[in-house]
Amino acid sequence: MVLDPEMLKAYQEWWRAVAEVEKAERQQASLTERWQKLNALFRMAAALGMPIVVAFYCFSWSLLHPDFSGEE
């Protein structure tokens, strides 16, 4: 399937809107929800055999750079 410029623009706008909603949800998250997510991250890291320092670094990165997408 080939996207024409109009379809591509609509696709990009859709995902921008999704990102805005996710950002708003993150900002509204309660302290309890954030602690639950942190605990889930550490449990997952432990289950994968990941050193706790690496898991903490990944979590810290996500806090400092919440809008990081990996794209330039």
Segment 36-63, tens digit of pLDDT: 887 888 888 888 887 776 666 666 666 6
Identity (one letter) of the amino acid at 64? L
First-to-last alpha carbon distance for the chain, in angstroms, is: 25
Query: For residue 54, how far is the Cα from the chain centroid?
Result: 17
DSSP tag of 70: S
In angstroms, the CA 31 to CA 28 distance is 9
Look at the pTM and tell me if it is higher than 0.75: no
In angstroms, the CA 52 to CA 42 distance is 7
User: What are the sequence ranges of the domains in the chain?
Assistant: 30-66
**Residue 12, pLDDT above cutoff 60:** yes
Six-digit token pair at 10? 């609509």
